[in-house]
């Protein structure tokens, strides 16, 4: 059963990653910075539990807050550009954060050993769950409390006036601006919420893997972040969850017996899914 609990943990973490991009995509913006916010939350939460001795819950809150603040700060200059320029700008920021953690060295002596981030060797000893006797099932449930909470929040926001504003900006910026909507405020707020979600997801990721390094937060992870809501469809948050299950449970784990052939099938199945459902698995019908 531990295998299935572990798979559920992975699905939960990637669902949070996808949801962090979902709210940004509602505004019509494509950001590749989600992996950076994910990394910031991972390192921040890990350092607070390992170096400062915090409980995991406030550490996750701090990681989420730091992710939100960073996303807000990045949002103002980045969202001045659109389309491919925004993709390039956020990609550059994400790579900058990854390289920062590649060179980040902050270790302290604790229990006779030195613990903390060690540049390219990564950040080990994130042992909160094992040290407190948490089982794989308990960790899985803990992760899914956050997943369900975030999905419920986004589901509610999507049906509120705020959600209508997000979608109106995504569908027609000129029309939205003509009725008095502040485009910058809406886009930055969506980026900030997405950063907060990515931050808490990164903190959970750091604690369930117990070891993180800069290579975990590369452009592939950023691509996954935007692929999940696109494949699942932007009509509902449940589309992102369905896409994560499709990719992580079926393509990555279900086809593991195919070895390297999965790399060929991965792109082909995604293309097939997008051709059959051009608006996503949970999107509207039609081209």
Q: Residue 114 belongs to what H/E stretch?
A: strand 113-115
Least confident segment among 51-55, 193-197, 264-268: 264-268
Q: Which residues of 63-83 are buried (b: 16+ CB within 10 A; e: fewer)?
A: bbbbbbbbbbebbeebbeeee
**In terms of Cα–Cα distance, which of 130, 251, 129, 150 is closest to 201?**
150
pLDDT tens string 78-119: 767 777 788 888 999 999 999 999 999 998 888 788 889 998
How far is residue 12's CA from residue 7's CA, in Å, rounded to a whole number?
Answer: 9
Q: Which residues of 20-54 are buried (b: 16+ CB within 10 A; e: fewer)?
A: bbbbbbbbbbebbbbbbbbbbbbbbbbbbbbbeeb
Give residue limits of the domains in the chain.
2-218
Backbone angles phi, psi at 109, to 5 degrees: -80, 130
**In terms of Cα–Cα distance, which of 78, 74, 75 is closest to 89?**
78
**In terms of Cα–Cα distance, which of 273, 275, 283 is closest to 235?**
283
pLDDT bucket at 19, cuts 50 / 70 / 90: very high
Q: Please, what is the average pLDDT of the chain?
A: 89
At residue 44, the pLDDT reads 97
How far is residue 157's CA from residue 23's CA, in Å, rounded to a whole number?
Answer: 10
At residue 269, the pLDDT reads 67
Q: Copy the structure tokens of residue 62.
A: 């701090």
Considering only CA atoms, give the Rg of the chain. Answer: 19
At residue 48, the pLDDT reads 96
SS3 call for 179: coil
How far is residue 94's CA from residue 110's CA, in Å, rounded to a whole number?
Answer: 31
Residue in the block written with tokens 């893997």: 209
- Decide: 166 and 185 in contact? Cβ < 8 Å: no
pLDDT tens string 227-244: 899 888 888 899 999 989
Q: Which residue has the higher pLDDT, 199 or 172?
A: 199
Residue in the block written with tokens 């990721």: 205
Return the percentage of the chain with pLDDT > 90, whole number: 62
């Amino acid at each position: 059963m531990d295998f299935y609990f572990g798979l559920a943990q992975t699905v939960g973490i990637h669902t949070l990653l996808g949801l962090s991009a979902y709210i940004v995509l509602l505004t019509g913006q494509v950001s590749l910075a989600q992996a950076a916010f994910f990394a910031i939350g991972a390192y921040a939460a890990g350092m607070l539990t390992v170096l400062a001795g915090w409980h995991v819950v406030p550490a996750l809150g701090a990681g989420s807050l730091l992710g939100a603040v960073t996303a807000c700060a990045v949002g103002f200059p980045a969202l001045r550009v659109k389309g491919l320029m925004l993709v390039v700008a956020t990609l550059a920021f994400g790579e900058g954060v990854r390289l920062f953690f590649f060179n980040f060295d902050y270790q302290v002596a604790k229990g006779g050993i030195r613990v903390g981030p060690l540049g390219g060797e990564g950040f080990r000893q994130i042992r909160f769950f094992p040290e407190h006797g948490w089982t794989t099932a308990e960790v899985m449930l803990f992760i899914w409390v956050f997943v369900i909470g975030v999905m419920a929040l986004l589901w509610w926001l999507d049906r509120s006036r705020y959600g209508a504003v997000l979608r109106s900006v995504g569908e027609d910026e000129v029309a939205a601006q003509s009725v008095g909507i502040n485009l910058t405020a809406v886009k930055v707020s969506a980026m900030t919420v997405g950063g907060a979600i990515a931050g808490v997801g990164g903190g959970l990721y750091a604690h369930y893997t117990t070891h993180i390094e800069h290579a975990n937060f590369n452009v592939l992870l950023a691509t996954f972040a935007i692929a999940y809501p696109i494949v699942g469809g932007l009509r509902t948050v449940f589309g992102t969850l369905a896409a994560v299950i499709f990719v992580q449970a079926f393509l990555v784990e279900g086809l593991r017996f195919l070895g390297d052939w999965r790399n060929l099938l991965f792109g082909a199945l995604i293309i097939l899914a997008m051709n059959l459902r051009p608006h996503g698995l949970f999107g509207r019908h039609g081209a």
